[in-house]
Amino acid sequence: MAASSVRANSARVLTIGFFIVFILVPLYWVVVTSIKPASDYLTTPPVWFPAKPTIVHYTAALFSYRGLQGLINSLIIASAATALSTVMGTMMAYSLARFRTGGNHLALWVISQRFLPPVAVILPIFLLFRRWGLYDTRIGLILAYAFMTLPLSVWMMYAYFRQLPKSLEEAALVDGLSRWQAFWMVATPIAAPGVAAAAVFVFIAVWTEFFFALILTSRYAFTLPTIFRAFLGFQGAQYGEACALATVSLAPSIALGMIVQRHLVRGLTLGALRG
Amino acid sequence: MGQSATANSPSAASAIRAGGASAWADRHFKWLMVAPATLLILAFSIYPMLFSLWVVFVNYDFQIPGHEFVGLQNFQQIVNDPLAWSSLGLTIALSVAVVAIEFMLGLALALAMVKTFRGRGIVMSILIIPLFISPVIVGQSWALFLQRPFGPADYLLSQLMGRPVAISWVGETPWVYIAILLADVWQWTPFMFVILLAGLAAIPPHLYEAAELDGVGALNAFRYVTAPQLAPVMLLALTLRLLDAVKLFDVIFMLTGGGPGTATYTTSFYLYQIGFQQFHLSMATAGSWLFLILLSVVITALVRRLLKAEAA
């Protein structure tokens, strides 16, 4: 019995240890390369701790590769899309949860949008964006991302409202508040932690998205992830610049992810599991 | 209702108007609340879909002027393209492979993590990092990590195996498939892990206590308690992940570019090439319709399942 529990314990430690190494090593390589001088690139054995760290790759990535423009675009687009998606999603979720609006059909229709392959919807959107003058505009991408993330915000908030008691809103209605006031002044403040978590998940989804931005933008409204195209094939061996840009892009979303860690299960399953 | 409007309005006439509008808004409250989101989704799904139903039957091609009616020709072109079939085959094979690997690794990790220990919080934070990184960066990072002469992967392998290793990670099959698997497994094993861990944590402990009293060993406890209790959560994790896995694009785009040759074309990458590199928009639209129809069977099943979980 004792021997088998020791075996089980060491298997546990080995499994966890393996994954920590597996996850951290490539990540560490990218971050450390972003501060390596070019002379450290091609050595054998590889340099894991650069003796003379440098920030030149960051300035090059931000200014020579238009990383700064991408960063600003990503911030504006992700913030605006998050606001739109969260507000519209919370409104819809409230109605679905409290009034079963549209029966099951409306809720199902919203969530099925989440599983459509982007490649199947992007072609007509691309053609229509060109007709409507939305191609390569921030507003176009903001609308597209609000659409893309609505299933997430609606379903996360739908699950959230369903577990909130109705009694306070009912009391508010008895006190003479309109349904709008009951929603806006009573339900929303109570649901604020849920709204905040949903907003962060939406922001991360938009911040990390590539495909829509690749197709719907070009020289002006491009986001951070699309800049990585410039490094395809590494013809000019801009390893440091690529890694600096990657670091700039992944740091904020990882930081946000850590904040909503508690809500992760709900975020990943669109509210189906509580965790 | 509308009392506050009445109380605040300066004249009786405007009070009635405001009261009327707000009473109307209150009566239709539940529909007004769903209207903005519904309109946006309609604008981005139904309207483009109807538009694309026209596109598939005409010739919408940036290389050919005009939009002549061509019937089913676009569908024929797709169905007759061997690359469409091989990319679909690869999409299915890769999706099944990554989902199976991620499921088994995620389950092993969840079983290892389910008991509390010192430092579990920090370990948890590390294990979920990949979920918050753009797949483009994941593809890019693995390209950097694996590819010679820059990447340290071959060096690390040669240290482990005690002999020189020189693998052409993105230039040769089967290594290129392994590279894709590595990147995908790195990013999405945490997804399986997090969901399965939540499922494991929700199993009532008294079931295990009862099993122990009955003298059931660890393996049988897994078989008779864990597996059946976890089955619904497993199914949820598997279907959610599978529906995302079949979209595989970003990693292909950054890591292999579909190469060597067309060896790593997935359906998404293939349709992107046809539509946005060769600009055969009608042909690509026809292909995406076929892909969508194939997937809709699976999507419908999953959506039903999600709703049941919600009702429970």
* Cβ–Cβ under 8 Å, residues A121 and A215: no
pLDDT at res. A99: 92
3-state secondary structure of A45: coil
pLDDT over 90, % of chain B: 59
Closest CA to A127 of A220, A223, A226, A216: A216
Average of per-residue pLDDT across B95-108: 97
Q: Which single residue is written with the structure tokens 């998404």? A: B268
Chain B, 26 to 65: residues with Cβ < 8 Å from chain A are 26, 29-31, 33-34, 36-38, 40-41, 43-45, 47-49, 51-52, 55, 60
pLDDT at res. B237: 92
pLDDT at res. B3: 43
* Cβ–Cβ under 8 Å, residues A110 and B305: no
- Chain B within 8 Å of A147 (Cβ-Cβ)? yes
pLDDT at res. A7: 83
Residue A221, pLDDT > 70, answer yes
d(CA A208, CA B135): 7
Determine the residue of chain B that is closest to A19 in CA distance: B127
Which residues does chain B have within 8 Å of residue A152's beta carbon, measured at their own beta carbons? none
Average of per-residue pLDDT across B142-153: 89
For testing contact with chain A, the best of B67, B74, B118, B144 (most A CBs within 10 A): B144
Question: In A12-147, which ranges are E strands?
Answer: none
Which candidate from B22, B48, B143 shows the least CB-CB separation from A125?
A: B48
Q: Which single residue is written with the structure tokens 């030149």? A: A56
* Higher-confidence position of B298 and B311: B298
Average of per-residue pLDDT across B146-155: 88
For domain A57-268, give the CATH superfamily: MetI-like (1.10.3720.10)
Average of per-residue pLDDT across B158-163: 90
Residue A254, pLDDT > 70, answer yes
Which residues have C-beta within 8 Å of that of residue B300, sequence separation ≥ 6?
A112
What does the block give as tokens for B226? 């864990």
Q: What is the pLDDT of residues A222-235, one digit of tens each?
A: 999 999 988 886 66
- Chain A within 8 Å of B288 (Cβ-Cβ)? yes
pLDDT at res. B259: 83
d(CA A62, CA A58): 6
Average of per-residue pLDDT across B42-51: 88
d(CA B75, CA B290): 8
Say whether A261 and B124 touch across the interface (CB within 8 A): yes
Can you list the domains of chain B with their CATH numbers?
A: 3-45 (no CATH), 73-311 (1.10.3720.10)
Residue B8, pLDDT > 90, answer no
Phi-psi domain of A142 (left: phi exceeds 0; alpha: psi -120 through 50; beta: other): alpha
For testing contact with chain B, the best of A131, A218, A268 (most B CBs within 10 A): A268
Average of per-residue pLDDT across B147-176: 89
Say whether B135 and A208 touch across the interface (CB within 8 A): yes
pLDDT tier at B48 (50, 70, 90 boundaries)? confident
* Cβ–Cβ under 8 Å, residues B104 and B122: no
Which candidate from B26, B40, B195 shows the least CB-CB separation from A273?
A: B195
pLDDT at res. B16: 52
* Higher-confidence position of A5 and B234: B234
Which residues does chain B have within 8 Å of residue A11's beta carbon, measured at their own beta carbons? 112
Residue B7, pLDDT > 50, answer no
Residue B2, pLDDT > 50, answer no
Q: How many residues would you count in chain B?
A: 312
Confirm whether pTM is higher than 0.90: yes
Determine the residue of chain A that is closest to B217 in CA distance: A1
DSSP A47: P
* Cβ–Cβ under 8 Å, residues B2 and A180: no
pLDDT tier at B86 (50, 70, 90 boundaries)? very high
DSSP B66: S
ipTM of the complex: 0.93
Highest mean pLDDT among A44-53, A60-69, B163-172, B181-190: B181-190
3-state secondary structure of A34: coil
d(CA A92, CA B58): 37
- Chain A within 8 Å of B238 (Cβ-Cβ)? no
**Mean of per-residue pLDDT scores for chain A:** 92
Instruction: Delimit the CATH 1.10.3720.10 region(s) of chain A.
Output: 57-268
Long-range contacts (CB closer than 8 Å, 24 or more residues apart) made by A173-181: A176/B1, A176/B3, A178/B1, A178/B2, A178/B3, A178/B4, A178/B22, A178/B25, A178/B26, A179/B1, A179/B26, A179/B29, A180/B22, A180/B25, A180/B26, A180/B29, A181/B4
Closest CA to B113 of B190, B26, B8: B190
* Cβ–Cβ under 8 Å, residues A107 and A96: yes
d(CA A138, CA B303): 32
Q: DSSP secondary structure string, B219-248?
A: HHHIIIIIHHHHHHHHHHHHHHHHHHHTT-
Q: What is the pLDDT of residues A104-125, one digit of tens each?
A: 889 888 988 888 888 888 988 9
Backbone torsions φ then ψ of B3, nearest 5 degrees: -65, -40
Which residues have C-beta within 8 Å of that of residue B253, sequence separation ≥ 6?
A210, A214, B136, B139, B269, B272
Question: Across the strands, what pairs with B64?
Answer: B61
pLDDT at res. A273: 85
